[in-house]
């Protein structure tokens, strides 16, 4: 193995420390405590784990956490009424509605009812437009975390060839916008891309966000490239359950210059960036 392993867990701990210091200053100087409201509809076990982790880490950095757990059969009108209350609440600086929502609820409608200034996920259509036009936006947490790791590894990204594999609204598209903002030459590839291997081999920066276990092997990677693996796929191998990324780690690590592991790479950065976004929203709300 030759690649440097990018330690997302340690990096996320550093981000949380900075957030905690900022929160402490806000309390001391302005008497304000940033607050994050997380809304969970239904009882999806994976979502419950995520929401619990978010609440725990929010409290650990000294912020207020407001959890709203609603039954699966909650109506759209009830959910919209809660969001309206949170939008109007001056103690709440960030609002996150955990996705996916139960099928009878219109996710786009719900997300777009959040005050864009409190939309710490960066999913509101206003924030999508602001990011796309290079203006001050709330930026989705996972791509923001990836960008922070890339800047930390590489310094300037200017002029580098970046390939983003995956075109989701949550990761692929905003990731491409962020890389473009840092003056990369950006290609968005996906499962229908012709000769995906050749496209990937051109990448100085390869961000894999397709959600297919170990789809990208080492021989698709340019020697020395920086590889960011967003995938979290649960597989069973040799009778054991295992988490793997979208990149085949062992073969990729033999070729890449640096690579994020799964777990312990991108994952921990997502919640750290959510906390950072909440502090940003609080600072913007309070001048
Ligand atoms: N479900 C899985 N990841 C996310 C996320 O980043 N934000 C929200 N709101 N829901 C999610």
Q: pLDDT (tens digit, 9 = 90+) per residue, 61-101?
A: 999 999 999 999 999 999 999 999 999 999 999 999 999 99
Q: How far apart are CA 183 and CA 176, in angstroms?
A: 11
Please indicate, yes or no, if residue 226 is contained in any of the structural domains. yes
Verify that 154 and 66 share a domain, yes or no: no
Closest of 274, 276, 281 to residue 142, by C-alpha: 274
Phi, psi angle pair for 179, to nearest 5°: -65, -40
Verify that 147 and 118 share a domain, yes or no: no
How many domains in the chain? 2
pLDDT tens-place string over residues 205-239: 999 999 999 999 999 999 999 999 999 999 999 99
Verify that 239 and 155 share a domain, yes or no: yes
Q: Is residue 135 annotated as a catalytic residue, yes or no?
A: no
pLDDT of amino acid 92: 98
Closest of 127, 117, 130 to residue 90, by C-alpha: 117
| Residue 1 pLDDT > 80 | no
ipTM: 0.96
Please indicate, yes or no, if residue 252 is contained in any of the structural domains. yes
Cα dihedral across residues 169, 214, 266, 257: positive or negative: negative
DSSP 135-146: -S-PPPHHHHHH
Q: End-to-end CA distance of the chain, in Å? A: 49
Q: Is residue 54 annotated as a catalytic residue, yes or no?
A: yes
Q: How does the average pLDDT of the chain come out, rounded?
A: 97
Q: Which atom of ligand 1 is nearest to the CA of 141?
A: 6
Verify that 147 and 90 share a domain, yes or no: no
Please indicate, yes or no, if residue 93 is contained in any of the structural domains. yes
| Residue 202 pLDDT > 80 | yes
Regarding the beta carbon of 39 and ligand 1, being less than 6 Å apart is answered no
| Residue 142 pLDDT > 80 | yes
Please indicate, yes or no, if residue 2 is contained in any of the structural domains. no
Verify that 156 and 249 share a domain, yes or no: yes
Average pLDDT over residues 101-121: 98
Report yes or no: 165 and 210 within 8 Å, Cβ to Cβ: yes
Verify that 152 and 191 share a domain, yes or no: yes
The upper half-sphere exposure of residue 104, i.e. CA atoms within 13 Å in the direction of its Cβ, equals 11
Verify that 146 and 254 share a domain, yes or no: yes
The model carries a pTM of 0.97
Regarding the beta carbon of 120 and ligand 1, being less than 6 Å apart is answered no
CATH number of the structural domain spanning residue 198: 3.40.50.720
Q: How far apart are CA 99 and CA 94, in angstroms?
A: 16
Closest of 103, 196, 145 to residue 7, by C-alpha: 145
Q: Which atom of ligand 1 is nearest to the CA of 100?
A: 1
Verify that 97 and 146 share a domain, yes or no: no
| Residue 287 pLDDT > 90 | no
| Residue 163 pLDDT > 70 | yes
| Residue 32 pLDDT > 70 | yes
Domain containing 71 equals 30-122
Q: Give the C-alpha distances (Å, rounded to integers) separating 124 from 44, 111, 170.
A: 23, 6, 11
Please indicate, yes or no, if residue 132 is contained in any of the structural domains. no
Q: Which of 119, 121, 182, 229 is catalytic?
A: 121
Ramachandran category for residue 113: left, alpha or beta (phi over 0 → left; psi -120 to 50 → alpha): alpha
Please indicate, yes or no, if residue 5 is contained in any of the structural domains. no
Q: How far apart are CA 48 and CA 41, in angstroms?
A: 10
Verify that 55 and 152 share a domain, yes or no: no
Please indicate, yes or no, if residue 129 is contained in any of the structural domains. no
Average pLDDT over residues 177-195: 97
pLDDT of amino acid 277: 98
What is the Å distance from ligand 1's center to 99 Cα? 5
CATH number of the structural domain spanning residue 51: 3.40.50.10860
What is the Å distance from ligand 1's center to 97 Cα? 8
Q: Which atom of ligand 1 is nearest to the CA of 99?
A: 10
Q: Is residue 121 annotated as a catalytic residue, yes or no?
A: yes
Residues in the chain: 287
Verify that 55 and 112 share a domain, yes or no: yes
Average pLDDT over residues 5-29: 98
Please indicate, yes or no, if residue 7 is contained in any of the structural domains. no
263: cis peptide before it, omega within 30°? yes
What is the Å distance from ligand 1's center to 7 Cα? 22
What is the Å distance from ligand 1's center to 106 Cα? 15
Place of tokens 């990761």: 171
pLDDT tens-place string over residues 232-273: 999 999 999 999 999 999 999 999 999 999 999 999 999 999
Is residue 166 a known part of a binding site? yes
């Amino acid at each position: 193995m030759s690649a440097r392993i990018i330690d997302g867990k340690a990096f996320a701990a550093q981000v949380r420390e900075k957030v905690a210091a900022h929160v402490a200053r806000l309390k001391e100087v302005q008497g304000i405590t940033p607050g994050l409201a997380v809304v969970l509809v239904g009882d999806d076990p994976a979502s419950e784990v995520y929401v619990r982790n978010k609440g725990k880490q929010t409290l650990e950095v000294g912020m207020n956490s407001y959890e709203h757990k609603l039954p699966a059969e909650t109506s759209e009108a009830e959910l919209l009424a809660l969001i309206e209350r949170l939008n109007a609440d001056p103690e709440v600086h960030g609002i996150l509605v955990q996705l996916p929502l139960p099928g009878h609820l219109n996710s786009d409608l719900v997300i777009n009812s959040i005050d864009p200034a409190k939309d710490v996920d960066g999913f509101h259509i206003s924030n999508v437009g602001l990011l796309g036009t290079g203006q001050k936006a709330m930026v989705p947490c996972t791509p923001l975390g990836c960008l922070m790791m890339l800047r930390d590894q590489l310094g300037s990204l200017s002029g580098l060839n970046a390939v983003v594999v995956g075109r989701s609204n949550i990761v692929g598209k905003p990731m491409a916008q962020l890389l473009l903002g840092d003056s990369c030459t950006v290609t968005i590839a996906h499962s229908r891309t012709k000769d995906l291997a050749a496209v990937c081999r051109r990448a100085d920066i390869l961000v894999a966000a397709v959600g297919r276990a170990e789809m990208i092997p080492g021989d698709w990677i340019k020697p020395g490239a920086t590889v960011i693996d967003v995938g979290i796929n649960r597989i069973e191998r040799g009778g054991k359950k295992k988490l793997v990324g979208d990149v085949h780690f062992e073969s990729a690590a033999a070729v890449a210059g640096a690579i994020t592991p799964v777990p312990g790479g991108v994952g921990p950065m997502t919640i750290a960036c959510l906390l950072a976004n909440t502090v940003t929203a609080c600072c913007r709300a309070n001048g």
